[in-house]
């Protein structure tokens, strides 16, 4: 068990580069199963969830090597169709392997991913789409068993623009005889990255980034190379840390358009933000202003993942803000921890009323999930005194050595390993 010790109150100053996107790389790693060949993936972050995905690929018979930020996966000899329960438990997003395993092996067996820290997270839309495409799905004793001869390409109407379901359908239908269309598809940048990777290995996917994605099945795929997009939530986290500390920070290797909802909100809070082609500079105000109601929504709306982190910014502000969480019901659990630091946040269901206070005070707090962990770090950096953030393993799922990067910006933050 390790925790982070933060001596708050130092404005962050300097430049930091944003690592590759966790949510983009996970489905792309699953997709490496499809081409029965060699996949070279650049800008692959060193994250817990990535390591688990690589472990799953090895378990399925792939050869995986890493050289710095480049991961090479050879899926020529992949043979398994089963993800053991221990690996499923360690990463909920392993569900995105289902479409890829099925496409490659015509069968897939895995345990139900179950609920997680931020809410129920059902997978009914994934399974319904699979069934529509001709997959025989049996759910039994916590296990899902899928089997098919070959998929029957057709139009899928998603009830919600689910990111994971969109990705799973794309993965399942690349190698097929006909055209699969996803209506009401998720429009997140990670879907575009998956499309770009799939096309790099010979697939024929169009429309990613709009609400209609078309997958024209091909008979085979080939070797390919791809560079993962920068992580927009990590970028939003650094912007939030600049805000809570009243600092001036430049983010490099970022795609400004991907974080436009966060940028617009922080400008409303009084930040001066300057956009380059692949960089963003933020000059935070002395004290943040409150914002009009923020409602989380699918992309390009305000991202639920950044909402957790924004809560720490609004906790210390000159008025009252309201946040409505529309995606995951459990995304306010850290409000209680922020209140322990002196914040005044009232949560009722999916609504949080944030009454800004003058300052927060450091104390021991516990991360309850990945983004709440990042939010507590942002709060601790701006707080008076010492904050210790426990459950750092959550943060390691999505941030590559967060404390090291923050130290380069002048933060007083250390990781302490405890027994
Ligand atoms: C992905 C991201 C996560 C982000 C989320 C929303 C990854 C690894 N994770 O999660 O960081 O917060 O998108 O942007 O990319 N739903 C159903 N049934 C389903 C699937 C989803 O009801 O079968 C609901 C969910 O409960 C949620 C909403 O749809 O309310 C969106 O979920 P979804 O887009 O699927 O999120 P994930 O892919 O799990």
Neighbours of 141 (CB within 10 A): 6
Q: Has residue 112 got a pLDDT over 90?
A: no
- Ligand 1 centroid distance, CA of 400 (Å): 22
* Cα–Cα distance for residue pair 127/98, rounded to 1 Å: 10
**Cis bond leading into 300, ω under 30°?**
yes
pLDDT in the model for residue 87: 86
Phi-psi region of 121 (alpha: psi -120 to 50; beta: other; left: phi over 0): left
Q: Has residue 115 got a pLDDT over 60?
A: no
Catalytic residue among 44, 74, 79, 116: 116
Q: 325 near 350, Cβ under 8 Å?
A: yes
pLDDT tens by residue, 235-270: 999 999 999 999 999 999 999 999 999 999 999 999
Q: Is 116 a catalytic residue?
A: yes
State the pLDDT confidence band at 114, using cuts at 50, 70 and 90.
Answer: low
Q: 246 near 284, Cβ under 8 Å?
A: yes
Q: What is the mean pLDDT of residues 375-402?
A: 96
Q: Has residue 60 got a pLDDT over 70?
A: yes
pLDDT tens by residue, 11-22: 999 999 999 999
User: Ligand 1 within 6 A of 92 CB?
Assistant: no
pLDDT in the model for residue 89: 81
Cα 124 from chain centroid (whole Å): 20
* Cα–Cα distance for residue pair 214/181, rounded to 1 Å: 5
pTM: 0.96
Positive or negative, the CA dihedral 143, 145, 151, 154 is: negative
Residue to mutate (ligand 1; options 24, 56, 121, 369; most atoms within 8 A of CB): 121
pLDDT in the model for residue 116: 57
Positive or negative, the CA dihedral 98, 100, 101, 107 is: positive
pLDDT tens by residue, 23-36: 999 999 999 999 99
- Which atom of ligand 1 lies closest to the CA of 163? 34
Q: Has residue 92 got a pLDDT over 90?
A: no
User: Ligand 1 within 6 A of 329 CB?
Assistant: no
Neighbours of 116 (CB within 10 A): 15
Measured at the alpha carbon of residue 404, what is the angle toward residues 400 and 405, in degrees to the nearest 5? 75
Cα 73 from chain centroid (whole Å): 22
pLDDT tens by residue, 288-340: 999 989 999 999 999 999 999 999 999 999 999 999 999 998 899 899 999 99
Residue to mutate (ligand 1; options 327, 331, 373, 374; most atoms within 8 A of CB): 327
- Ligand 1 centroid distance, CA of 399 (Å): 19
Q: What is the mean pLDDT of the chain?
A: 95
| DSSP 8-state symbol, 92 | G
- Which atom of ligand 1 lies closest to the CA of 161? 34
pLDDT in the model for residue 85: 87
User: Ligand 1 within 6 A of 98 CB?
Assistant: no
* Cα–Cα distance for residue pair 345/314, rounded to 1 Å: 10
Phi-psi region of 29 (alpha: psi -120 to 50; beta: other; left: phi over 0): alpha
Q: What is the mean pLDDT of residues 379-406?
A: 96
Q: Has residue 418 got a pLDDT over 80?
A: no
* CA nearest to 44, candidates 31, 60, 28, 33: 28
Beta bridge partners of 387: 6
β-pairing, 294-295 with 136-140? unpaired
Q: What is the mean pLDDT of residues 264-288?
A: 97
State the pLDDT confidence band at 119, using cuts at 50, 70 and 90.
Answer: low
pLDDT tens by residue, 345-361: 999 999 999 999 999 99
| DSSP per-residue letters across 252-305 | ES--GGGGHHHHHHHHHTT-EEEE-SSEEEEE--SSBPP-SPEEB-STTSB-HH
User: Ligand 1 within 6 A of 316 CB?
Assistant: no
Residue to mutate (ligand 1; options 28, 115, 164, 188; most atoms within 8 A of CB): 164
Q: Has residue 120 got a pLDDT over 80?
A: no
| DSSP per-residue letters across 165-203 | HHHHHHHHHSBSSSEEEEET----HHHHHHHHHHHHTT-
Cα 167 to Cα 30, 70, 102, 163: the distances in Å are: 10, 22, 13, 6
- Which atom of ligand 1 lies closest to the CA of 327? 30
- Ligand 1 centroid distance, CA of 337 (Å): 25
pLDDT in the model for residue 118: 64
């Amino acid at each position: 068990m390790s925790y982070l010790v933060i001596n708050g109150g130092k404005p962050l100053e300097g430049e930091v580069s944003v690592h590759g996107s966790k949510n983009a790389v996970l489905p792309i790693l699953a997709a490496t199963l499809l081409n029965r060949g060699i996949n070279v993936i650049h800008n692959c972050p060193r994250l817990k969830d990535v390591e688990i995905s690589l472990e799953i690929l090895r378990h399925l018979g792939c050869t995986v090597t890493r050289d710095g930020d480049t991961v090479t996966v050879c899926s020529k000899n992949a043979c398994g169709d089963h993800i053991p329960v221990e690996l499923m438990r360690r990463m909920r997003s392993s569900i995105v392997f289902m479409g890829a395993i099925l496409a490659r092996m015509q069968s897939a067996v895995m345990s139900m991913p179950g609920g997680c820290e931020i809410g129920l997270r059902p997978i009914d839309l994934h399974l319904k789409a699979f069934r529509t495409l001709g997959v025989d799905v049996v759910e039994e004793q916590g296990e899902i068993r899928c089997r098919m001869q070959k998929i029957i390409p057709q139009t899928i109407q998603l009830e919600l623009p689910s990111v994971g379901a969109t990705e799973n359908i794309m993965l399942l239908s690349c190698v097929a005889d006909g055209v699969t269309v996803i209506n009401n598809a998720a429009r997140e940048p990670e879907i575009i990255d998956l499309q770009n990777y799939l096309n790099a290995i010979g697939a024929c996917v169009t429309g990613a980034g709009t609400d209609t994605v078309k997958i024209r099945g091909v008979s085979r795929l080939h070797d390919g190379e791809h560079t993962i997009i920068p992580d927009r939530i990590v970028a939003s986290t650094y912007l939030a840390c600049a805000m809570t500390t009243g600092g001036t920070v430049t983010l490099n290797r970022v795609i400004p358009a991907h974080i436009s909802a966060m940028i617009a909100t922080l400008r409303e809070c009084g930040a001066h933000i300057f956009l380059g082609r692949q960089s963003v500079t933020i000059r935070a105000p002395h004290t943040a202003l409150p914002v009009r109601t923020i409602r989380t929504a699918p992309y390009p709306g305000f991202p639920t993942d950044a909402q957790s982190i924004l809560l720490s910014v609004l906790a210390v502000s000159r008025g009252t803000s309201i946040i409505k969480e529309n995606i995951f019901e459990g995304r306010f659990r850290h409000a209680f921890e922020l209140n322990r630091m002196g914040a005044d946040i009232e949560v009722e269901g999916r609504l949080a009323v944030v009454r800004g206070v003058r300052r927060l005070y450091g104390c021991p707090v516990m991360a309850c999930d990945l983004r709440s962990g990042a939010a507590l770090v942002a709060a601790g950096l701006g707080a008076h005194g010492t904050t210790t953030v426990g459950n750092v393993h959550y943060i390691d799922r999505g941030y590559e050595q967060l404390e090291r990067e923050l130290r380069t910006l002048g933060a007083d933050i250390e990781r302490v390993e405890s027994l």
